[in-house]
Amino acid sequence: MQALLRRSVALVTLAVLAATARADAIDYAQADVSSSATTIVLVGAVGTGDDARPAPIVSASYTRWDSGEAGGAGFVYRWALPLETQHWLIGAGVGVNANRSWAPADEESDSALALWLQSEWFGPAPGGSYYALARASSYRETWLATAQYAPTGLPMSAEWTRYHERGYQATSIGVRVATGLARWFVRVGVTRGNGETSPYLGVVYNAF
């Protein structure tokens, strides 16, 4: 029943993503489904920006797993550091985070305001291009690092992500395949967290 519910949520999310993306209401959307969790991430730029003055972003994420759920939303102001061919953006902001667990041995629920710090790097790399993001939050000692590499002439990119929070750590590796529709990608890979390995499948809309 729970699996059915999760799949229904994922389908509805996909539909919402498609609709909002088509309406240009968001700039980045991602939904992943795996045997252990479902994750949704939405990011939108506030106003317009350029290389020297990147636009601030608002973002929201929600994850639901067998015995809990977590979500967060925040605002991050970004600054560009001057580099020649590479791009380096740093950001700081605030967010609201919430976490709820209904596991019998670990039942808890909390929410808090948190400070967010992040750094992004992107630009050309040998044989292709890269994007990397590191984000830390004062909420539950959370940090996230992700790196992507997209070879030129290959309609896909490889990605690696490490997520850390108090009581849960996970590493994911996967590929992101460009679809025939501009800005839309399919993600597939494997996440290993807390001793469990589960494959994930997802869809991404990226207008940045």
Instruction: Return d(Cα 93, Cα 96) in angstroms, integer.
Output: 11
Q: Is 174 in the site for another protein (CB under 8 A)?
A: yes
Q: Is 186 in the site for another protein (CB under 8 A)?
A: yes
Identify the residue among 63, 101, 138, 198 touching another protein (CB under 8 A). 198
Structure tokens at 110: 């909390």
Identify the residue among 17, 159, 189, 205 touching another protein (CB under 8 A). 189
Instruction: Return d(Cα 163, Cα 141) in angstroms, integer.
Output: 11
Least CB distance to another protein at residue 87 (A): 22
> Which 120-139 positions form the footprint of another protein (CB under 8 A)?
127-128
Instruction: Return d(Cα 31, Cα 44) in angstroms, integer.
Output: 15
Element at 162 (helix H, strand E): strand 156-165
Least CB distance to another protein at residue 190 (A): 5
Q: Is 151 in the site for another protein (CB under 8 A)?
A: yes
Q: Is 155 in the site for another protein (CB under 8 A)?
A: yes
Among 22-30, 118-126, 129-137, 192-200, the segment contacting another protein (CB under 8 A): 192-200
b/e code 47-70 from CB counts within 10 Å (16+ = b): eeeeeeebebbbbbbbbbbeebbb
Is-contact 41 74, C-beta < 8 A?
Answer: no
Q: Which chain residues interact with another protein by CB under 8 A?
A: 35, 127-128, 151-156, 174-175, 177-181, 186, 188-190, 195-199, 201
